[in-house]
Amino acid sequence: MSNANVYKQRPDSGRAESPLFHAGLDEMARKAPLHKSSSAGVTLREKKLLGHLTLRGDAEDVNFAGGVHKALGLELPVALTLVAKGETSLQWMGPDEWLLIVPGGTEFEVERKLREALDGQHISVVNVSGGQTILELSGAKAREVLMKSTPYDVHPSNFPVGKAVGTAFAKSQLVIRRTGDETWELLVRRSFSDYIWLWLQDACAEYGLAIKA
C-alpha cells in the first residue's frame, strides 16, 4: 500500500458551497416560467460539487493503464479527448496528466481505489475539487455562444463529441469539453467563475438563456 496519506476533504457534516453558490442558480431555475425555459436557445447548469481528481503517471506503462482500468473501469484517453462511464469521466490534460471527475462525495473512496490499484508505481493523485467547477451549456444555440467566446474552432468537423481542449475564453482560460451533439461543458477555475458567469449571461442574451438546477 502507498505511504501517501489520503484525507477526506469533504466532511460528512457541514455545508459545501460551489463556486457559483452566491449566484443563486437554483433559485433562478425554480422561478423560471416553463414557456421561457422551453423556448431558450441555451440552457445553463452548474454541475456543482463533483469530485475532481488530478491523476499523473506514465501513459506508456501498461501497468499504469491497467491499474487505472482496474480502479475505474475506464481506458486512458488519448490526447485532447475524454472517456466517460455514467457520471464518471477521465480527461487527457497532458502527456502524463488526466482529470478525473466523479460524483460528489465519492472522491475520497475513488482516490483510495486508485492508490491501491497503482501501489508501487510512481504516480500522483491530487484532490482539486474545491478549485474548479463545471458549467454545462446545452441547446441549439450553445455552439454559437462558444463561437462568440473563444478563438478555438468549435465546428463539429474539428470538435467532435468526446473532444476536450484547454483554450482562451472571454479573455480568460478554461477547458471546453463536448459531451453531446448539443451539449458542452466548461471546466472553470474557481477564481474565474464569476467572470465567466457574467460573460455567459451577456453572450446568451440574444438567444434566450434558461437556468437548469
Residue 99 grid coordinates: 482529470
Q: Which of 28, 11, 24, 41 is nearest to 107 (CA)?
A: 11
Name all domains of the chain by residue range, CATH numbers in brackets. Answer: 22-49+131-211 (3.30.1360.120), 51-130 (3.30.70.1520)
Residue 6: pLDDT band (50, 70, 90) is: low
The per-residue pLDDT for 4 is 58
> What number is the average pLDDT over the span 36-58?
93
Is the pLDDT at 110 greater than 80, yes or no? yes
The answer to whether the CB of 103 falls within 8 A of the CB of 34 is no
Percent pLDDT > 70 in the chain is 91
| Pairwise CA distance, residues 62 & 59, whole Å | 8
Specify the pTM. 0.91
Q: Which of 196, 199, 50, 46 is nearest to 131 (CA)?
A: 50
> What number is the average pLDDT over the span 84-102?
97
Residues 6+ apart with CB under 8 A from 100: 51, 52, 53, 54, 55, 72, 88, 89, 90, 91, 110
Residue 14: pLDDT band (50, 70, 90) is: low
